Structures are given as C-alpha cells and as structure tokens.
Amino acid sequence: MRLALGVSYAGQAYDGWQSQPSGNTVQDRLEAALRQFTQQRIGTVCAGRTDAGVHGLMQVVHFDTDLDRKEHAWVRGPNSFLPGDIAVHWARPVPADFHARASAIGRRYAYVLLESPVRPSVERGRVGWVFRPLDPAAMQAAAQQLLGEHDFSSFRAAECQARTPVKTMRRIEIARRGAYWRFEFEADAFLHHMIRNLMGCLLVIGKGDRPVDWMAEVLAARDRRAAAPTFAPDGLYFLGPVYAPHWGLPDRTAAYDWLP
C-alpha cells in the first residue's frame, strides 16, 4: 500500500529536509518516528526539499508499506514519537502511481517579513526582518516582471541540481498586515534558493536602492552575480505542493492558517 502524509514543521532546529549524516533533518526525524511506530524501516519521498531554517506548513511525503492501519493511526502513531516542532496532520492511501514530487503540478511558498526599527524577538526565526520602510507599489511592479515562463538562472544557487532553470511563475501576491509583510509565490517548480534570491531583489527595490526595471535587467542577465544577495531563510515557508483534484488530497494543514 502507498500512503501520503501531510506534515508541518518549524525549521530553525534542523539542517533542512533531506536526510544527512548528522541525522538532524526533518526527514531523519520523520523516518525515525515511522520506524518506531511500525518497527520497520520506511523511506519517504517528499514533494519539495527545504533548506536549513526553512519551515514547512504542508510538506507531502509518500511511502510504501505492507501494514494495514487506519488513517488516524498513521497520524497519531508517528506524532507520539516526533519532536514537538514536527507534526503529521493527515494520512491518505494513494494509488501506486502517485508520487509526492513527480505528481505535483505546482508548488507554493510564502515569505513573512517584519518591517520594524526593532529586530524580531518572540517571532525570532519565524520571520525575516528589515528596518527601512518598503514601497509596496515598487515591489508589486517588480514582481509583475517575474510572472510567466522565464530562465531564472539569476536567482539560482550554484549548487542547484535542477535540470533546467526555466520555470513558470504563476502568481506573486504581496500584502501587509500591521508591521508584517507576506509575499506568496506559486510556480510549476522552484530552483534552489530561488525564493530567497527573489526576496533579496524585491527588498532592494522596495527600499529604493534600485529602480523597478532593475528586476527585468537581473532576469535577462541569467547570471547569479547580477542579483542581490540571498536573503535570510527565517521567514520562508513551504506552503505545499499543488496536485490535480483526482488524487483527493487536502490542499493545506491547520498550520497553514497560522501565518499573518
């Protein structure tokens, strides 16, 4: 039987999603909990890897098992062995041809940013931070230049393993609530560090250090050296993959509604 799980996690304490020799990744902790629950070694495949310090509001994983347990048992069982900053929210049986990564037709991220003269305190590690005022109209105009299919090489980390830098940006929304900004991105797929590199450029423009049209110049350069430095991971959240309706999977977890 193939199962899919919806998982949320706070990323501050972990070296990213993907398993590493340190054992200090979200995947390592999830697979250890599944092993304790099932007394079997279970390998998981995720919808989208996240870097160290990046959070997941609905990571989706799949795995195969010959155990027959009810859906709620696959939620409560692993959760009893997981640390408090990782939780399984739902479990669903899926067809054998479902693949958490390959079946996704899109992915969604949000970046939460505090604009304040004072650095974050209680929300430390959960939000990015700028102390200079931002121009929403300038950032909105710059974001429009990123929509559609483009070569995003200027926003790609050197260690990115994607086969092509060409991606389709479907949606960018920028909203403010009090001192907090929320930047939401949806694309068919993203490159390594792509969101954090886009954020670096949007904030340079928002602070008035570069004109709006500079974003188009960076995009056209297809050269990472043309863009702003990579922004902090703290406020970055993987909102989850987008699947076709016929898979019958939830499109969010309860953690999704926590964001400003």
List residues with catalytic annotation: 51
**CA gap 104, 218 in Å, rounded:** 28
CB-CB contact of 148 with 72 (8 Å): no
In terms of Cβ atoms closer than 10 Å to its own Cβ (0-12, 13-18, 19+), residue 133 is exposed
| Residue 55 CB contacts under 8 Å (≥ 6 apart), including other chains | 9, 10, 11, 126, 236, 237, 238
Q: What are the start-end ranges of the E strands in the chain?
A: 2-9, 45-46, 55-64, 86-94, 106-115, 128-130, 148-151, 166-177, 180-187, 236-242
**Between vectors from CA 199 to CA 132 and to CA 201, what angle results, nearest 5°?**
80
CB-CB contact of 88 with 159 (8 Å): no
Q: Which of 171, 187, 54 has the alpha carbon at shortest distance from 111? A: 54
Structure tokens at 46: 């995720």
Residue 144 backbone dihedrals phi, psi, to 5 degrees? -60, -30
254 three-state secondary structure: helix
**What is the DSSP-derived secondary structure letter of residue 229?**
P
**CA gap 254, 242 in Å, rounded:** 16
